[in-house]
Amino acid sequence: MTIVKVSSVQFAYKPIKNFEDFASNVENLLDQAKGSHFIVFPETFTLELQYLIPNYNIGKIHEFTDQYIDLFKDLSKKKNQYIIAGSHLIQKNEKTYNRSFLFCPDGNHFKHDKTHLFPLEAKMGVTPGNNLEIFETDNVKVGIATCYEMEFPEVIRTLTLKGAEIIFSPSYTVDEHGFWRVRHCSQARAVENQIYVVHSCLVGTPPISDMMTGWGKASILSPCEEPWPSNGIIAEARVNEEMVVTGELDLKLLHKKRKRGTATTLNDRRPDLYKI
């Protein structure tokens, strides 16, 4: 596969009455990404399911895990698309993890537990994951870096050196400052690693508190070099609106530029110097 079509979903909180309302909206957004090989949803976008829980108890979100997995397994097979279904708070061995899932059309799925936790997550008792893996799908090597993970150069460097060509970043940032931290870092990671980054945002106000209102504009990012856009933005959503943005990523071009680009940052590293 040389040209990979990707879509980033900007998902907005909205009142729902049952799980079917949530599932129907998800499928509608996937319909807007028709023809894309990969679609990414935002971090913890299943928090919308708080509307179905008495007192909006976030500690009960994990009770929807089986329904969430069944939904996306079915949709991935039905639509013949790879779906990075954002992330979801799961419980395992009495511990809570912020887990991202990559669902495949053949019925398989991969998972990634967020390794670097935002301070608020740590205070909530979320447990960090300990693995940085890449996933091979149809000759495309992809990685997942959930929101705050993008702010650590070592995470994306590790995934890149393992062979990743595209990084999918489900994100939930509660104010404009937080959004720009993740967005600026995503663009830096794209440049320094000569890699594509697909950034998805959760926006809108949850039922529990307007202090947790999501702010964002989803994007598809490239290195800053011809023939890519000079600002490295292949596609970008409007601020805080639920929508889907789509773009095409040329993997052959990416590898060509890694070898003979204007700025070959991936090849020009000095590991010998860094050790000193």
pLDDT tens sequence across 118-150? 999 999 999 999 999 999 998 899 999 999 999
The architecture (CATH level 2) of 3-275 comes to 4-Layer Sandwich (3.60)
For residue 1, pLDDT beyond 80: no
pLDDT at 139: 84
pLDDT at 211: 80
pLDDT at 177: 97
Summarize the confidence of residues 25-41 as an average pLDDT.
Answer: 97
For residue 258, pLDDT beyond 90: yes
Summarize the confidence of residues 242-266 as an average pLDDT.
Answer: 96
> How many residues are recorded in the chain?
276
Set 48, 147, 185, 201: catalytic member = 147
Reduced 3-state DSSP string for the chain: CCEEEEEEEEEECCCCCCHHHHHHHHHHHHHCCCCCCEEECCCCHHHHHHHHCHHHCHHHHHHHHHHHHHHHHHHHHHHCCEEEEEEEEEEECCEEEEEEEEECCCCCEEEEECCCCCHHHHHCCECCCCCCCEEEECCEEEEECCHHHHHCHHHHHHHHHCCCCEEEEEECCCCHHHHHHHHHHHHHHHHHHCCEEEEEEEEECCCCCHHHCECCCCEEECCCCCCCCCCCEEEECCCCCCEEEEEEEEHHHHHHHHHHCCCCCCCCCCHHHHHC
Set 43, 48, 149, 236: catalytic member = 43
Half-sphere exposure of 243 (CA within 13 A, CB side): 13
pLDDT at 68: 98
Which of 98, 99, 100 has the alpha carbon at shortest distance from 124?
Answer: 98
pLDDT at 43: 98
Q: Which residue's entry shows tokens 């204007």?
A: 262
The pLDDT tens digits for 58-111 are 999 999 999 999 999 999 999 999 999 999 999 999 999 999 999 999 999 999
The whole-chain average pLDDT of the chain stands at: 96
CA pair distance 16, 23, nearest whole angstrom: 10
Percent pLDDT > 90 in the chain is 94
pLDDT at 208: 80
Structure tokens at 136: 């091979």
Structure tokens at 186: 């995503």
pLDDT at 210: 78
Percent pLDDT > 70 in the chain is 100
CA pair distance 242, 12, nearest whole angstrom: 5
Which of 249, 236, 154 has the alpha carbon at shortest distance from 199?
Answer: 236
Q: How many CB atoms lie within 10 A of CB 128?
A: 13
Set 73, 114, 217, 257: catalytic member = 114
| Residue 104 a catalytic site member | no
Segments making up each domain of the chain, as ranges: 3-275
Pairing of strands 82-92, 38-40: parallel
**Range of weakest confidence among 162-166, 176-180, 206-210:** 206-210
What's the whole-model pTM score? Answer: 0.96
